[in-house]
Amino acid sequence: MTQTYKEQYRPQFHFSPEEKWMNDPNGMVFFNDEYHLLYQYHPFGTTWGPMHWGHAVSKDLIHWEHLPIALYPDEIGAIFSGSAVVDWKNTTGFFEKDQPGLVAIYTSAGTYPDSDRPLQQQSLAYSKDNGRTWVKFKGNPVLSDVNITDYRDPKVFWHEETNKWVMVLATGQTITIYTSYNLKEWEFASEFGHTAGSHDGVWECPDLFKLPVVGGQEKWVMIVSIGDNGQSAEGSRTQYFIGQFDGSTFVNDHDDSTILWLDFGRDNYAGVSWSDIQDGRRIYLGWMSNWRYANQVPTEAWRSAMTLPRELSLATTEAGIRLFQIPVAEVSKIRKGTESYQKISVETGNGVSIPLAHSLMEITIEFEKESSSQFGLIIRHSEEEKTVIGYNAVEEKLFVDRTQSGEHSFSTSFAAVQEAPLKLEDQRLKLQLFLDTSSIEVFANNGEAAITSLIFPSETGQELILFSNEGTTNMLELNVTELDSIWSK
């Protein structure tokens, strides 16, 4: 019998459940020096089924301790996605006087009596013991709307300026905002998004938070995931909006036709940020899969993993203010030895080969374009398998080509070239790559663009090949760092 966390394709430095099915990250909150990760979990199968909330905790966002299931389905319904907060002021009255505690806000997913019509309502649970046990509120559900079928995924935060709790809720093709003084009684505040952004699928898993812009002002960011409608090539994706928020209404800075994608890979969905982090960072985590093929990926004992946690920031680019993302600094905890290479000129037809001695890697590389139309690197997994990470200088696009990365017969949508618009900086391109057993995450130019992609090679990597087409490219610096497994102990 294969040992847990030793199976083929099992991620070694990304979070995955011990067994069975996982999807959206939920209830992400920091409290008493622990990061809590709750998640959509089906403990009885490796495909989507009746949802529970799985649970894990971490001291460093990298190494995780599995805890027992936090929330089970009940007479109101299954436990769909939601969030968790620290009730610092005991606004709920759930806790002892002047003692804070954790409150989870989630969607109870059931059906109407004598009908198969879905009924989605918002409910509460609370914990007095650092999330080890949870008590459901006797007054559940706390928020319902019989006129809306898709009514789910509450993300809640405390808005200091108005002294209220704010909930952003996915409501079909919009995000509805509610406010509350005590998390139990909610008032409608506003609705956003009827004609804004992409409406290729149902809107899900919203988030709303404030970020400083590098160099000055502050903006609010709204994240919205878009379900797979079966028509678009990309499947499920995640978009974001930048604007202003006054405690009740979000105003988009862009016109409705502007679509901003959070990640240009196929495999970063339903991501949200941690609540109550005290060091000023906004840290995001996504589900590393896609509804187009999530139930078919070639893993057996378990299905799905999360992305690396990422620190979000806003910066001004030629196109305007945009969301940047980089892996959290804590990834340094799994770095081992590094091999470095300097200043290699790469000519057309003369690829430069560099052997890869490790299966888990971080690769940082900087290119300088001279005259080439396309350049990049190839990770050769085996004689027949390779993943290409490159830059098309003519079209100004970063790309990850997984059409020959390994197993892809489980879905006609999987083999793909994933592209992100990106301009060079002074003719230079900086890449940071994280290669796990069944994924690659690419961050370009300090996080201006990200491509997250599953891959299923028979081996992780044997050789790295630098290439340049129709001209010369200079490789200025390359670092290949071995990474440790977070499950090794």
Residues designated catalytic: 24
Length of the chain: 489
Cα–Cα distance, 267 to 325 (Å, whole number):
15
Q: Who contacts 168 (Cβ-Cβ below 8 Å, separation ≥6)?
A: 154, 155, 175, 176, 177, 206, 207, 208, 222
The first and second tokens of residue 76, run together, are 């109101």
Reference 299, options 309, 289, 308, 307; nearest CA is 289
Exposed, middle or buried by CB within 10 Å (0-12, 13-18, 19+), for 114? exposed
Cα–Cα distance, 61 to 328 (Å, whole number):
8
Distances (CA, A) of 80 to 56, 151, 222, 456: 17, 11, 20, 29
- Render the burial of 268-299: b for 16+ CB within 10 Å, e for the rest: bbbbbbbbbeeeebbbbbbbbbbbbbbbebbb
Gyration radius of the chain over CA positions: 22
Q: Are 106 and 53 in contact (CB under 8 A)?
A: yes
Question: What is the per-residue DSSP string for 339-373?
Answer: EEEEEEEEBTTBPEEEE---SSEEEEEEEEESS-S
The residue written with tokens 């945009």 in the block is 322
- Render the burial of 14-39: b for 16+ CB within 10 Å, e for the rest: bbbbeebbbbbbbbbbbbeeebbbbb
Q: Are 458 and 472 in contact (CB under 8 A)?
A: no
